[in-house]
């Protein structure tokens, strides 16, 4: 069993490199560039088990938005609209652990 474990640790990676890292844009005003992430696998509290974290990189302010894992894309957009956009306007970019969304203006 030890030989198998060591073999797995020494194995070469076969994944294709993701790409070159790009530095994040430096915000010049509040809520211009934000970061979002999810805190998942939480115990159910008041019917919620997931938190959307929205981070303002300019002022270092966070919004914590509670939701459930069963939320739809439309529901997520509504929560963002009601908790972030209506208070601070539409950001120029949103960075998540999934991908960067550029140019949100329509």
pLDDT tens digits, 63-83: 999 999 999 999 999 999 999
Asked if 5 and 11 count as a contact pair (C-beta separation under 8 A), the reply is no
In contact, 92 and 100? CB cutoff 8 Å: no
Whether 45 shows a pLDDT value over 80: the answer reads yes
Return the higher-pLDDT residue of 70 and 18.
Answer: 70
**What are the beta bridge partners of residue 62?**
55
Q: What is the pLDDT of residue 101?
A: 47
- Answer yes or no: pTM beyond 0.85: no
Q: Which CATH architecture fits 30-106? A: 2-Layer Sandwich (3.30)
Between CA 39 and CA 22 the distance in angstroms is: 25
């Amino acid at each position: 069993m030890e030989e198998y474990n060591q073999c797995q640790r020494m194995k070469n990676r076969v994944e294709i490199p993701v790409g070159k890292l790009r530095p994040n844009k430096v915000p010049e005003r509040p809520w211009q560039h934000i970061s979002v992430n999810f805190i998942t696998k939480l115990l159910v509290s008041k019917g919620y088990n997931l938190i959307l974290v929205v981070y303002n990189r300019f002022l270092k302010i966070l919004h914590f938005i509670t939701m459930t894992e069963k939320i739809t894309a439309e529901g997520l957009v509504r929560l963002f609209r009601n908790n972030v956009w209506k208070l601070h306007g539409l950001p120029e970019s949103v960075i998540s652990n999934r991908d960067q969304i550029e140019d949100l203006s329509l």
